[in-house]
Amino acid sequence: MKAVGVIEFGGPEALGVHHLPEPHPGTGQVRIRVRAIAVSPTDVDLRRGGYNTAGFEPPYIPGMDAAGVIDEVGASSTWKVGDEVMAIALPLSEHGGAYAEYLVAPDDSIARIPAGSTLEQASTVPMNGLTATQVLELAALQPGRVIAVTGAAGTLGNYLIQLAKVQGLTVIADAAPKDLAMVQSLGADHIVDRGDNLADRIRSVFPDGVDAVADTALLHEEIVPALSDGGVFISVRGWKGEPTRDMRFEAVSVSDEYHSQAKLDALRQAVEDGALSARVADVLPAEHADEAHRRVEAGGSRGRIVLTF
């Protein structure tokens, strides 16, 4: 099978097409003929060598989001050949990343694609949707409480705003002028300008601070002052600050959601209900993954760039 990955870490040009043996599913597993893969910043980090690859052999195959059609089922699988599914993948694991024509997945790491969605749209849901779900679980806020979302125009920020509103939370988000209408359309209750001194602008709306900060923009200590006493800060890249007052620091780990089929299926339902929008910025052949990575690194895409096999 064809797979796109790196032998040596580096820039986008390090990505190449590799021919690997076709995998086959074991008990309680399926094989997906991958049709669409959403490209995310985590893929760029892997390509650059940002993860511990000890115990794994190159080529290293990125990709945490896939959608396609099941073409083989293992013993005791509850799925059928022909089912259209979306899956979360773990690049540094037994089954590898999603930039491949075939992906073996445990039964409980996949869900049906949302009715009415294309495979390209469905491929944008698993990793970011499960990350947003985990953020909100760590925040553990009751309806009516306030969460600030940084990086609101990004895909994870989009999902966080929409899922937070499903939970009845009040959302304050940042946006550049060009993204204002989009962020408004997601349901944010308050929108402030992005950029320096964001914590001050949030405090101008909520003088006592917010109950939680979901820091998808990686502002770290710059945004901590927006928190109220007793608030919770949730980071998406492992950063944890030192509490200077009564606050809690949490960091998400989406790899912990690899077997979270019920949550993935809830995301499917949210898309079908119109509560969550799957946004595709562009679609490229998998052989053009280097171009996709350059565009992700440049920033500014609204939605995910999707690769297709």
pLDDT of residue 238: 84
Helices and strands counted in the chain (H then E): 8, 15
Which CATH code for domain 128-254?
Answer: 3.40.50.720
Asked if 37 contacts 103 with a C-beta cutoff of 8 angstroms, the reply is: no
For 253, other C-beta atoms within 10 Å of its C-beta total: 10
- Tell me the residue type at 209: G
pLDDT of residue 84: 98
| CA–CA dist 135, 131 (Å, integer) | 6
- Tell me the residue type at 182: M
Decide yes or no: CATH 3.90.180.10 for domain 2-125+278-308.
yes
pLDDT of residue 256: 96
pLDDT of residue 182: 94
Sketch the domain layout of the chain as residue ranges. Answer: 2-125+278-308, 128-254
pLDDT of residue 243: 75
Q: Token pair for residue 309?
A: 């096999």
For 78, other C-beta atoms within 10 Å of its C-beta total: 11
| CA–CA dist 249, 272 (Å, integer) | 33
Asked if 90 contacts 247 with a C-beta cutoff of 8 angstroms, the reply is: no
pLDDT of residue 244: 75
Neighbour-count burial of 190, counting CB atoms closer than 10 A to its CB (0-12 exposed, 13-18 middle, 19+ buried): middle
| CA–CA dist 45, 199 (Å, integer) | 28
pLDDT of residue 105: 98
Q: Residues of the chain whose pLDDT is less than 70?
A: none
Residue with tokens 């491949």: 100
| pTM (two decimals) | 0.95
Helices (H), ranges, the chain = 41-48, 119-122, 126-139, 155-166, 180-185, 198-205, 261-272, 289-298
pLDDT of residue 219: 96
Q: Token pair for residue 48?
A: 């650059």
Beta-strand relationship, 170-175 and 146-150: parallel
pLDDT tens digits for range 220-274 = 999 999 999 999 999 998 888 877 778 999 999 999 999 999 999 999 999 999 9
| CA–CA dist 26, 280 (Å, integer) | 32
